[in-house]
Amino acid sequence: MNAELFKSAASYSPIASPIKNHNHKIAIIGGGISSICLAYQLLTLSPKLDITLYCSDEILGSRGSSNKQGAIYPLLQGGQFSVLAELYDLCYPYSVNFYKQINTLNVNFAHQWCGVLQQAFTPELIKRLQQIAREWPSHGQFISAEQSSKLANLTLPYPSLYFKDGGWIWPQEFCQKTAEYLTANFNLSIKTNTHISKLNQTEQHKWQLESHAELIPALFDQVVVCSGHLTNQYIQTQQFDIIPIRGQVSHLSETSTASELKTVLCHNGYMTPAHNQVQCFGATFERDNNNETSNLADNLKNLDQLQQVYEQQEWAKQITEHDIVGQNAAIRATSQDHHPIVGEVMSDDWVKDNVDQNNGKLKRLDKLIGKPKTYPNSDHHGLFIMTGLGARGLTTAPLMAKHLASLMLNQQSPLSDRLIKSIAPMRFQVRALKRNKGTH
């Protein structure tokens, strides 16, 4: 697969130039971390843009970004040459700096850069986390159980991979406070309680949206769908297989025996330090479940998970279901290959017409119908998606948003060609095209 194929179709044109027009109108569909990060990155790159964000809920951050505390740390599999590890190598420090920078703008959201302890609670994990510490020393350090206990302020029986720069933020508050800053300083409008039910492309290659079967009068040059596991709800995006993952997080009271925790603690699940009389721990993991209703049974699952890992620790054994004072269920979106899905949307017909079935590369121009001088724009030109960020969306969203904003505005992406290919929505269509070449 060649790199050019996976860049925005707008960039195929030799006369493409950066977009800075204040009349350029963009619609963002979704009210969570992806949408807010994207709006911020777009307006930072091009402050005169006219952006409208549509959220189906009454307040921002009500769904996938609704947990009170979310951890920020990388997914660094053993083997530094894996594409996913390369992606997190960039996303992790970028996200930490991103949130810190926004905080300097007097955008105040609850957070704590308290470090993250990833516990090595099995012999296999000890070997794996030691390897990661050797390969990524700038991100993580392998430390003893004694050192881990001192940092956590709780007695821990296992060594850890310690991410000293990691921590947690309150995603919902981040979304709301950053949106307030953007609407006050840029041309960003927030439309809540507005479910976008349909995307219509006009003959002038603009986009018009429908809400509850009524046309919204505005015409948009570009539309981005950032709706998590619901991103494929439209005719133009239904070809993408987006997997919902339900997770319920439980809340401990401020008087529990774990309340003295000082770092984020990761094992089979995770636990955060207490903040504002709430301490989060969990979480359940249910693939292909999109039920957002929380339940008491999952609180017991979270408690059992914690106590199985720390079965000898008094602080864990003393926690009971009576210490659980609340819970929150949210749906994460992931992809079949566990990479984010970020980029321009191409139809299956566009891929079939413009991509060589044998090698997965763009066809030679003289092989295209009509022999055009440049590759044609997507038949969904101006439509983009950002989804599939999974359980570590807080870590990946800022850089994924920067990449997407760069594509949309015809600017240089911060990602390598290898990474652009690994997250491009079209990768699935090209794989299917090559896989099915013998059937045509």
pLDDT in tens, the chain (440 residues): 345 667 654 444 444 556 766 689 999 999 999 999 999 999 999 999 999 999 999 999 999 999 999 999 999 987 667 899 999 999 999 999 999 999 999 999 999 999 999 999 999 999 999 999 999 999 999 999 999 999 999 999 999 999 999 999 999 999 999 999 999 999 999 999 999 999 999 988 899 999 988 999 999 999 999 999 999 999 999 999 999 999 999 999 989 999 999 999 999 899 999 998 889 999 999 999 999 999 999 999 999 999 999 999 999 999 999 999 999 999 999 999 999 999 999 999 999 988 988 888 888 888 887 777 777 788 899 999 999 999 999 999 999 999 999 999 999 999 999 999 999 999 999 999 988 865 54
Residues pairing with 332 in the sheet: 245
Phi/psi at 265 (5° precision): -120, 120
Say if residues 112 and 275 touch (Cβ distance below 8 Å): yes
Domains of the chain: 3-64+173-242+337-439 (3.50.50.60), 112-167+248-330 (3.30.9.10)
Tell me the three-class secondary structure of 119-169, residue by residue. ECCCHHHHHHHHHHHHHCCCCCEEECHHHHHHHHCCCCCCCEEEECCCEEE
Tell me the three-class secondary structure of 263-314, residue by residue. CEEECCCEECCCECCEEEEECCCEECCCCCCCCHHHHHHHHHHHHHHCCCCH
Cβ count within 10 A of residue 276: 10
Which of 336, 415, 343 has its CA nearest to residue 89?
Answer: 415
Say if residues 343 and 8 touch (Cβ distance below 8 Å): yes
Say if residues 386 and 38 touch (Cβ distance below 8 Å): yes
Tokens matching residue 168: 């947690």
Residues pairing with 199 in the sheet: 209
Task: Give 198-249 as a DSSP string.
Answer: EEEE-TTS-EEEEETTEE-S--BSEEEE--GGGGGGSTTTTTS--EEEEEEE
H or E element at residue 399: helix 393-408
> What is the CA angle 147-149-153, rounded to 5?
125
The pLDDT score that the predictor gives to residue 365 is 84
Give the Cα separation of 372 and 366 in Å (integer): 7
The pLDDT score that the predictor gives to residue 277 is 84
Which of 170, 218, 217 has its CA nearest to residue 67?
Answer: 170
- Radius of gyration over every alpha carbon of the chain, rounded to an integer in angstroms: 23
Classify strands 264-266 and 270-271 as parallel, antiparallel or unpaired.
antiparallel
Write the DSSP symbol of residue 180. H
3-state secondary structure of 372: coil
Burial 35-69 (b: 16+ CB within 10 A, else e): bbbbbbbbbebbeebbbbbbbbeeebbbbbbbbbb
The pLDDT score that the predictor gives to residue 14 is 40
The pLDDT score that the predictor gives to residue 372 is 76
